[in-house]
Amino acid sequence: MSEQMWMERAQSAEAKLTTCQQNQDRIKEKHRGLMETLGAKERSDGSIDIDFDALAQRLSIEHALELRAAIDQHHRISGAPGAKPRISVTA
């Protein structure tokens, strides 16, 4: 194989590596932003803890109500905020 071919392959590999590194940096930055928004911290075992107080402070009132509605619907919770929740259990 010619030296020119090896140089072209090396240049191509360098270009791909640079692109991959840029994409990796972009993804890491998005991940950091998402974790910060959620008030989340990653444990050493890979599990994630969410600080719900921090999350609640960061949510707008509209988003907080949307989240509550989604949780209530998913878990079939009814009742007024602050009151004893009523949960529908299905067998």
**pLDDT above 80 (res 84):** no
Query: Which range marks the domain in which residue 18 is found?
Result: 1-50
Identify whether residues 14 and 44 lie together within a single domain.
yes
User: What's the rounded mean pLDDT across residues 41-52?
Assistant: 92
- What pLDDT is attached to residue 44? 93
- Give 56: exposed, middle or buried? Use CB within 10 Å, 0-12, 13-18, 19+: exposed
Give per-residue pLDDT as tens, 47-71. Answer: 999 999 989 999 999 999 899 888 8
How many domains does the structure of the chain reveal? 2
Identify whether residues 40 and 4 lie together within a single domain.
yes
Identify whether residues 45 and 65 lie together within a single domain.
no
Identify whether residues 5 and 44 lie together within a single domain.
yes
DSSP 38: H
* Residue 49 parent element (H or E): strand 48-50
Identify whether residues 35 and 70 lie together within a single domain.
no
**pLDDT above 90 (res 38):** no
- Rounded Cα distance between 37 and 6, Å, is 46
What is this structure's pTM? 0.58
- What pLDDT is attached to residue 69? 87
For the chain, percent of residues with pLDDT exceeding 70: 98
